[in-house]
Amino acid sequence: DGGITQSPKYLFRKEGQNVTLSCEQNLNHDAMYWYRQDPGQGLRLIYYSQIVNDFQKGDIAEGYSVSREKKESFPLTVTSAQKNPTAFYLCASSIGPLPGYGYTFGSGTRLTVV
């Protein structure tokens, strides 16, 4: 079945460590996105990529980094510069220049700083 796989489902990070969240899709979608979800704030865009080897900052990119070396993969690294990384992270993809189709989402990763 086609879809988006995020791993791990739960992730614990110590202060000062970098961690990488995985996002893989087999939908042949061009565009991929990372959102952060906090209680009462909806989903906020961290980074997005519309084609391989290209990505743009979203609204809250500070303390995060991404890469898009393959169409299927869009990993997100949460660096030690991110002051409040505890949150739920959602990865999504879309067909690209077809805005009417919305997004397909992964099941999310819950990151907790310990």
Interacting residues with another protein (CB under 8 A): 31, 33, 35, 40-45, 48, 50, 58, 88, 90, 92, 94, 97, 99-100, 102-103, 105, 107-108
Amino acid at the residue 58:
G
Min CB(108)–another protein separation in Å: 5
Nearer to another protein, 18 or 57 (CB): 57
Min CB(16)–another protein separation in Å: 28
Contacts of 99 (CB under 8 A, 6+ apart): none
DSSP 80: T
Token pair for residue 21?
């969240």
- Residue written as token pair 């809250």: 60
Min CB(99)–another protein separation in Å: 5
Alpha-carbon distance 114 to 108, whole Å?
19
Nearer to another protein, 76 or 92 (CB): 92
